């Protein structure tokens, strides 16, 4: 009998520290359903309730209009205005006017009455759509404390349009300071709604403004001033956009860089970053996303579109879990990482390109925060069922699955994922078979159709993806063991490292943390009795085969997807960026139909894009800047790398 | 005590002066019966045979007869006759101390009353050096008390150890040269016999500069300059005075005043610190806005080094003769030699002096006002801005008022500021001002400054408050001794920074102190406060005061040092300097390289290597 041996140190890092020292791996709080009270008391009275949130202790209250004045009169903006006016040869008054217009277009106009209106309507809508909205109230208490002490940045995960309304709704309900939210300009298209969102705290940023100095200056100064003065918590989505696949996206650094700047330059003592994990049992956009991944264009945000979408009101979307994570202090993140005195020699209002040191610090912090979001994401039983069903589907067991077999596999997976530290919300007091059937019934739209329709598969995959972060490191190890030529530890590590590098556009794998990830995976697999690791070798235990088989198949669809993209590229002589997705899709469909591909989900454009990005990053494909962005493929290289 | 030491005692007595009761509580100028005319100090010179260490505390700040204590009624009182506060009851101090530190009069931590000579290591004497020294006739001593007295400055850890009767490495011998030539002889002998010399002036260092390096194996000789305390000449045509470097600040001013002059150099330690010490640390005086800092005041310096004597050939007011060699000397902290004589600028004594104060609704407004005053280059002789905590502290130090009328007036003022003007008593802060010059100009200047202040919401708050503010400077050091009697330890440290960083540094450093205290297990919230003490064209100097109740801590000094270390890191990370005028000593050495770059270190190092290749001046400060 192999009973959890002490972890074997490998690269001189005691892997146990991963679990005891990482502040993001703490015990989780309990949940309360906030809809319960809404079902039992008047929504109107609730919307009109007395709202007196705790504010930042250093706050000097100011009006929306004063805020704009502060931005326009700031030294930072003043500097850029002078610069731009010299460059363009126009008067600085004109440039100031331009800046004022940008600000006008951007600025939020948070007002309580609009929030109260939303509080009322959203109460009605939420009660219809969802069974419950569960919140960890301890997290809210921590948040309140954080808001009092330091400027706060809220960083929710982004899976649905609903996210930011939901956030403000929660904060209003619990009498916490309402945030200002960075939103994409797309919403502005929705005339009335856009303005309503503005009045509930949203401010709008253009999707791309790369070279526009003035825009950048107005934008960054606006965010910084709101943050520094403690005007309101600043909320934005680290992932930049909604994840269509439910996998966390590679974090965007622009805004994080902006909000960390006041600390790095000593303008505030500290800033609290609060990761928030929002998990939906059923995403409102589930089918929409799948279609989008298959190439059906995303409908433009419009008010009329919103009304058309009201048919969803008749459906049951289960419950939402919102977990407010442990506030992360920028000061402690930066401690012994960043030499802050690098800002001593240039006046702080002159915009400077962040140094390599700062960029890598922001990048690492961003990954840590996304991982913190992932780790506190509640997983529903359905997520595990999606795993089982998809693997069966791929194994072409088309005749359907017996309920007790499904239950057995789900229970096995439940236990495994718990051992891996998943935040699983599995009602233990209910017999597993009932849990399984009730999950199936909520998602009957996806289950009933036994035919492998792509939309359904991709929707299912997006549920399965919610738990990928739990398994990704062990799965990489399992695949590494599978592909390595021997069971020598060094060899397995090499192959782990290659796979991890390959997939670092696909999953959240912190840059430079290969050794830690390897250690973590080894630790987990040894702990659960799957592997035995001695000085030199990695051995699979008797009962480890089932787990390894499962873990290997977790990564299989992605491996196959990347392989097919490689094969596709090898057959091309050059290709423009625009042609890539349609062409590769055509190629994949052809192979799917001939039965040479097992996984329908490789049709996901997300996977295809990630694969291409990875190949470019690894130098297997070269992007030539010419008339028509061509990809030069180095097939030999791709093959050499084992694909 | 040996007969030999007895003999020395007589000589070691510094020409100290004791002032009668009317001496001002701020330890400087006494206000004349009719304001506007400054009297000279009244002098009562002590007989020469009272040794320095009997007038001065051996394990605390300042004069032995002056200290804070709680009397039988439990009221705070300041003893002695030297300061205006002397002999007065300070009714608010106890409550302030109890509420600020959660201190309790029941919990006492008294100091060891007398020095236990047996705790002092016997001296390591270099017999050959001693023999030749005797033949020169220069007085010296290896009495334990003399040695211990010159073994420390006034850092918290130094005083704390003395109070506990703990004595570390102390000098093995003390010598008292009487003039420049004596110093030349001593340095020659030290070089000849490889003896380590540590110059000693007023002993007010707060940078561990006087601590004997524990790794030093040679005999350490403390070179006490206190006998070199004469003004050698005054040149009224050029307005300069040639002075021996051992003279103490207050004596220098007093003696110059007798001839109608002053230097105007008034560092907070001027009661005890010496001219040579100022030069060696790049000192700064309170009234630098009129008179300049030490580097602006010095015209000529004579220093004895192991290589010989360094001085310039003339006293031209400015020269272009390569890098100014004075700048190797100023700030050298006793690592290159002994400053023996200095020619300084002098000024006619000001005709009129006036204190003032301004209340601001908050610290931000106060800083903005000081910045504007600096921009317009109209800073008074002194302008200082205390934060809210220090304002309250100053308030707690108000002596008992005798008349009902005064207390009624105080109440009225408070009502006006907090109720009528709407200032939040927990946010408001106070600037103290000192104007100097001829009467008309002072009044004009005063108006200009108050007009600027008004633009920043400042309200004139009277001369009294201003004067009390400056008094704080001199008694705060005595207060630390009181705190140490009741489990409270603390200290001040300073920095300088560009104007745009003043608020950020003040906020961040204060917050860092509070946070570090909490992290290090301090049981009670600390006092963490600051004030802007100097303004410049391009920035300001800020002082931080920090103290906490250490009950429940096993090693309070270590905790204190960790917090101060963190505070300094915070200062540097936010763009503040390593020191504005306290110097580096050994306390801040570790940050020198990042402060002045490796090349800069190399430049200083090469000067040291040339001037003192055998490290005779081995106090190991700075580098």
Which pLDDT band holds residue B405 (cuts at 50, 70, 90)?
A: low
A201, A207 contact by CB (below 8 A): no
Nearest to A120 by CA among A42, A34, A199, A202: A42
Residue A332's Cβ-count burial label (10 Å; 0-12, 13-18, 19+) is exposed
Among the candidates A376, A411, A432, a domain finishes at A376
Do the bridges between strand A234-235 and strand A180-184 make them parallel or antiparallel, or are there none, so unpaired?
parallel
According to the model, what pLDDT value does residue A642 have? 47
CA–CA–CA angle A587, A588, A594 (5° rounding): 100
- Residue A524, pLDDT above cutoff 50: yes
Q: Return the SS3 of B258.
A: helix
Instruction: Specify the pLDDT at position A308.
Output: 61
For residue B163, pLDDT over 90 is answered with: yes
Pairing, β A328-329 against β A319-324: unpaired
Q: Are B507 and A347 within 8 A, CB to CB?
A: no
- B24 with B31: CB under 8 angstroms? yes
DSSP element (H, E) containing B22? none
B452-462 burial: b if 16+ Cβ within 10 Å, else e: bbeebbbbbbb
Find the range with the poorest average confidence among A2-11, A556-565, B101-110: A2-11
Mean pLDDT of A24-50: 84
* Domain presence at residue A21: no
Q: Does domain B231-348 have CATH number 3.30.465.10?
A: yes
Q: What is the pLDDT of residue A29?
A: 86
Half-sphere exposure of B109 (CA within 13 A, CB side): 22
Is there a contact between B133 and B175 (Cβ–Cβ < 8 Å)?
Answer: yes
Give the pLDDT of residue A332.
95
Given a cut of 80, whether residue B4 has pLDDT beyond it is: no
pLDDT at residue B408, rounded to an integer: 67
**Mean pLDDT over residues A280-295, rounded?**
84
Residues A88, A181 within the same domain = yes
Mean pLDDT on A230-251: 92
Nearest residue to B26 via CA among B479, B532, B475, B530: B475
Q: What is the pLDDT of residue A630?
A: 59
Q: What is the CATH number of domain B352-574?
A: 3.40.462.40
The verdict on A340 touching B (C-beta cutoff 8 Å) is yes
Please check the confidence at residue B325 and state whether its pLDDT lies above 50: yes
* Residue A155, strand partner residues: A275
Distance CA A211, CA A253 (A): 16
Percent of chain A with pLDDT over 90: 56
pLDDT at residue A397 greater than cutoff 80: no
Asked if residue A565 and residue A418 are part of one domain, the reply reads no
Any idea where the domains of chain B sit in the sequence? Answer: 231-348, 352-574
The answer to the question of residue A43 being in a domain is no
Say yes or no: A77 and A210 in one domain.
yes
**pLDDT, tens digit, 9 for 90 and up, residues A465-478:** 999 999 999 999 99
The CB density around residue A5, as the number of other CB atoms within 10 Å, is 13
Chain B positions in Cβ-Cβ contact with residue A270 (cut-off 8 Å)? 511
**Whether residue A160 sits in one domain with residue A76:** yes
What is the ipTM for the molecules in this complex? 0.86
Which residue is it, tokens 């600000």?
A: A103
Report the pLDDT value the prediction gives residue A438, as an integer from 0 to 100.
86
Averaged pLDDT, A328-335: 96
Which DSSP category does B123 fall into? P
Q: What 3-state class would DSSP assign to B231?
A: strand
Residue that is written with structure tokens 């979307």 in the block = A317
Mean pLDDT of B500-505: 97
Q: Which two structure tokens, joined as six digits, stand for B381?
A: 């002789």
Same domain membership, residue A391 and residue A354: no
Binding positions of B for FAD are: 199-205, 281-284, 333-339
- Residue-level pLDDT at A303: 64
Task: Taking residues A523-529, report their average pLDDT.
Answer: 90
pLDDT category of residue A258 using cuts at 50, 70 and 90: very high
b (16+ CB within 10 A) / e for A52-68: eeeebeeeeeeeeeebb
**What's the domain range around A435?**
382-450
Number of domains in chain A: 3
With respect to residue A36, please indicate whether it lies within any of the assigned structural domains. no
B67, pLDDT greater than 80: yes
Strand bridging mode B298-305 / B308-310: antiparallel
Lowest mean pLDDT among A361-370, A422-431, A633-642, B569-578: A633-642
CA–CA gap between residue A144 and residue A178 (Å, rounded)? 11
A411 and A350 within one domain: no
For residues B277 and B248, what is the distance between their CA atoms, to the nearest angstrom? 9
* Integer Cα distance of A380 and A245 in angstroms: 16
Above 90 in pLDDT, residue A626?
A: no
- The answer to whether the Cβ–Cβ distance between A341 and B505 falls below 8 Å is no
pLDDT of residue B617: 98
Q: What is the CATH number of the domain that holds A503?
A: 1.10.10.10
pLDDT, mean over chain B: 89
- Please tell me which residue, A152 or A284, carries the higher pLDDT value: A152
pLDDT band at B45 (very low <50, low <70, confident <90, very high): very low
Radius of gyration of chain B (CA): 24
Confidence bin at B31 (pLDDT 50/70/90): very low
B500 closest CB neighbour out of A270, A341, A348: A348
List the binding residues of B.
199-205, 281-284, 333-339, 480
Is residue A57 domain-resident? no
Measured between alpha carbons, how far is B623 from B609 in angstroms, rounded to an integer? Answer: 11
Residue B49 reports pLDDT greater than 60: no
> C-alpha A248: how far from its chain's center?
3
pLDDT, tens only, A437-472:
888 888 887 776 444 477 788 888 889 999 999 999
Least confident of A492-496, B45-49, B342-346, B451-455: B45-49
**Is the minimum CB–CB distance between A348 and chain B shorter than 8 Å?**
yes
Best residue in B501, B572, B576, B591 for a mutation probing chain A (most A CBs within 10 Å): B501
Dihedral, CA atoms, B592, B597, B602, B605, nearest 10 degrees?
Answer: -20
A340 and A219 share one domain: yes
Long-range contacts of A404-408 (CB under 8 A, 24+ apart): A404/A433, A406/A436, A407/A432, A407/A433, A407/A436
**Which are the catalytic amino acids of B?**
543
Which pLDDT does position A195 carry in this prediction?
87
Nearest by CB: B574 against A266, A270, A339: A266
The conformation of residue B584, written as its DSSP 8-state character, comes to: -
pLDDT digits (tens, 9 = 90+) for B376-396: 999 999 999 999 999 888 888
- And the tokens for B485? 């009697």
For testing contact with chain B, the best of A344, A345, A346, A358 (most B CBs within 10 A):
A344
Considering chain A, what percentage of its residues have pLDDT values greater than 70? 88
Whether A337 has its CB under 8 Å from any CB of chain B: the answer is: no
Mean pLDDT of A227-238: 94
């Amino acid at each position: 009998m192999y009973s959890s041996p002490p972890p074997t140190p490998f690269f001189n890092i005691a892997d146990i520290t991963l679990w005891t020292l990482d502040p993001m791996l703490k015990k989780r709080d309990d949940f309360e359903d906030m809809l319960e009270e809404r079902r039992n008391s008047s929504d109107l009275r609730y919307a009109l309730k007395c709202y007196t949130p705790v504010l930042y202790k250093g706050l000097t209250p100011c009006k929306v209009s004063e805020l704009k004045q502060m931005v326009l009169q700031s030294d930072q903006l003043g500097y850029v205005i002078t610069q731009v006016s010299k460059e363009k040869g126009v008067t600085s008054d004109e440039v100031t006017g331009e800046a004022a217009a940008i600000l006008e277009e951007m600025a939020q106009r948070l007002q309580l009455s609009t929030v109260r209106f939303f509080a009322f309507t959203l109460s009605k809508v939420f009660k219809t759509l969802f069974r419950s909205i569960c919140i960890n109230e301890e997290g809210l208490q921590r948040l309140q404390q954080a808001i009092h002490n330091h400027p706060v940045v809220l960083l929710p995960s982004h899976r649905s349009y609903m996210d930011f309304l939901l956030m403000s709704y929660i904060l209003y309900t619990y009498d916490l300071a309402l945030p200002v939210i960075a939103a994409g300009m797309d919403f502005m298209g929705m005339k009335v709604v856009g303005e309503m969102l503005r009045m509930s705290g949203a401010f709008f940023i253009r999707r791309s403004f790369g070279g526009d100095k003035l825009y950048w200056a107005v934008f960054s100064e606006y965010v910084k001033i709101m943050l520094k003065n403690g005007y309101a918590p600043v909320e934005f989505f680290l992932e930049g956009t909604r994840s269509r696949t439910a996998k966390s996206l590679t974090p965007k650094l622009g805004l994080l860089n902006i909000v960390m700047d006041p600390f790095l330059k000593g303008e505030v003592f500290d800033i609290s970053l609060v990761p928030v994990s929002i998990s939906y049992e059923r995403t409102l956009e589930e089918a929409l996303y799948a279609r989008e991944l298959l190439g059906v264009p995303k409908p433009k945000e419009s008010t009329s579109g919103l009304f058309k979408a009201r048919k969803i009101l008749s459906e049951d979307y289960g419950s939402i879990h919102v977990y407010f994570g442990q506030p992360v202090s920028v000061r402690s993140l930066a401690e012994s990482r960043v030499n802050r005195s690098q800002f001593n020699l240039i006046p702080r209002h002159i915009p400077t390109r962040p140094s390599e040191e700062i960029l890598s610090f922001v990048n690492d912090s961003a990954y840590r925060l996304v991982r913190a979001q992932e780790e506190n994401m509640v997983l529903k039983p359905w997520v595990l069922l999606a795993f089982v069903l998809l693997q069966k589907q791929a194994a072409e067991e088309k005749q359907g699955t017996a309920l007790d077999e499904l239950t057995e596999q789900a229970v096995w997976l439940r236990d495994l994922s718990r051992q891996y530290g998943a935040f699983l919300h599995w009602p233990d007091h209910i017999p597993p078979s009932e849990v399984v059937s009730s999950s199936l019934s909520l998602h009957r739209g996806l289950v009933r159709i036994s035919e492998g329709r792509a939309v359904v598969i991709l929707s299912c995959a997006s549920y399965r993806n919610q738990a990928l972060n739990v398994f990704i490191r062990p799965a990489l190890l399992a695949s590494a063991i599978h592909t390595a030529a021997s069971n020598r530890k060094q060899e397995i590590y090499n192959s782990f490292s290659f796979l991890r590098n390959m997939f670092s556009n696909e999953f959240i794998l912190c840059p430079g943390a290969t050794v830690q990830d390897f250690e973590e995976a080894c630790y987990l697999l040894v702990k659960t009795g799957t592997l035995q690791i001695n000085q030199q070798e990695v051995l699979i235990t008797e009962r480890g085969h089932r787990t390894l088989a499962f873990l290997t198949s977790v990564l299989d669809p992605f491996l196959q997807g990347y392989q097919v993209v490689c094969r596709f590229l090898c057959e091309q002589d050059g290709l423009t960026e625009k042609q890539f997705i349609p062409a590769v899709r055509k190629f994949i469909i052809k192979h799917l139909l001939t039965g040479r591909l097992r996984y329908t989900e490789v049709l996901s454009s997300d996977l295809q894009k990630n694969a291409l990005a990875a190949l470019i990053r690894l130098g297997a494909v070269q992007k030539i800047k010419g008339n028509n962005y061509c990809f030069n493929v180095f097939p030999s290289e791709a093959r050499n790398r084992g694909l | 005590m040996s007969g030999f030491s007895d003999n020395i005692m007589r000589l070691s007595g510094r020409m100290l002066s004791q002032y009668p009761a009317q001496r001002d509580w701020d330890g400087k100028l006494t206000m004349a019966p009719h304001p506007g005319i400054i009297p000279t100090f009244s002098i009562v010179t002590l007989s020469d045979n009272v040794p320095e260490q009997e007038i001065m505390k051996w394990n605390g700040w300042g004069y032995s007869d002056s200290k804070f204590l709680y009397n039988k009624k439990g009221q705070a009182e300041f003893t002695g006759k030297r300061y205006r506060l002397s002999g007065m009851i300070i009714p608010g101090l106890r409550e302030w101390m109890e509420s600020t530190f959660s201190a309790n009069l029941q919990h006492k931590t008294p100091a060891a009353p007398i020095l236990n000579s047996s705790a002092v290591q016997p001296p390591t004497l270099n017999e050959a050096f001693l023999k030749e020294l005797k033949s020169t006739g220069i007085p010296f001593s290896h009495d334990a008390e003399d040695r211990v007295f010159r073994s420390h400055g006034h850092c918290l850890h130094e005083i704390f150890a003395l109070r506990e009767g703990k004595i570390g490495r102390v000098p093995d011998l003390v010598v008292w040269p009487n003039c420049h030539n004596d110093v030349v002889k001593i340095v020659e002998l030290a070089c000849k016999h490889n003896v380590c010399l540590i110059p000693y002036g007023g002993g007010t260092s707060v940078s561990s500069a006087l601590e004997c390096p524990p790794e030093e194996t040679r005999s350490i000789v403390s070179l006490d300059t206190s006998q070199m305390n004469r003004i050698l000449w005054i040149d009224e045509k050029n307005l300069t005075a040639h002075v021996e470097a051992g003279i103490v600040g207050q004596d220098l001013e007093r003696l110059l005043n007798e001839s109608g002059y002053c230097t105007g150099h008034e560092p907070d330690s001027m009661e005890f610190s010496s001219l040579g010490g100022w030069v060696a640390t790049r000192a700064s005086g309170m009234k630098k806005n009129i008179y300049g800092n030490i580097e602006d005041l010095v015209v000529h310096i004579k220093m004895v080094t192991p290589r010989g004597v360094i001085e310039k050939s003339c006293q031209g007011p400015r020269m272009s003769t390569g890098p100014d060699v004075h700048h190797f000397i100023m700030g050298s902290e006793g690592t290159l030699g002994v400053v023996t004589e200095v020619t300084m600028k002098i000024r006619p004594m000001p005709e009129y002096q006036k204190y003032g104060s301004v209340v601001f609704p908050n610290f931000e407004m106060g800083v903005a006002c000081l910045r504007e005053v600096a921009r317009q280059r109209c800073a008074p002789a002194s302008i200082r801005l205390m934060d809210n905590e220090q304002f309250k502290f100053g308030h707690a130090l108000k002596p008992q008022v005798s008349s009902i009328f005064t207390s009624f007036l105080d109440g009225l003022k408070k009502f006006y500021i907090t109720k009528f003007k709407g200032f939040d008593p927990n946010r408001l802060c106070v600037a103290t001002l000192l104007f100097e010059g001829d009467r008309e100009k002072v009044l004009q200047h005063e108006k200009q400054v108050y007009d600027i202040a008004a633009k920043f919401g400042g309200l004139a708050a009277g001369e009294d408050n201003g004067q009390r503010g400056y008094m704080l400077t001199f008694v705060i050091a005595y207060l630390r001794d009181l705190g140490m009697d009741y489990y409270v330890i603390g200290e001040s440290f300073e920095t300088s920074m560009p104007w745009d960083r003043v608020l950020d540094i003040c906020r961040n450093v204060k917050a860092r102190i509070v946070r570090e205290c909490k992290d290090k297990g301090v049981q009670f919230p600390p006092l963490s406060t600051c004030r802007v003490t100097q303004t410049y064209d391009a920035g300001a100097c800020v002082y931080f005061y920090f103290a906490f109740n250490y009950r429940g801590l096993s090693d309070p000094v270590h905790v204190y040092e960790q917090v101060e270390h963190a505070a300094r890191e915070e200062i540097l990370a936010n763009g503040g300097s390593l020191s504005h005028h306290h110097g580096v000593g050994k306390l801040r050495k570790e940050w020198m390289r990042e402060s002045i770059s490796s090349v800069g270190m190399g430049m200083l190092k090469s000067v040291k290597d040339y001037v003192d290749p055998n490290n005779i001046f081995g106090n190991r400060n700075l580098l």
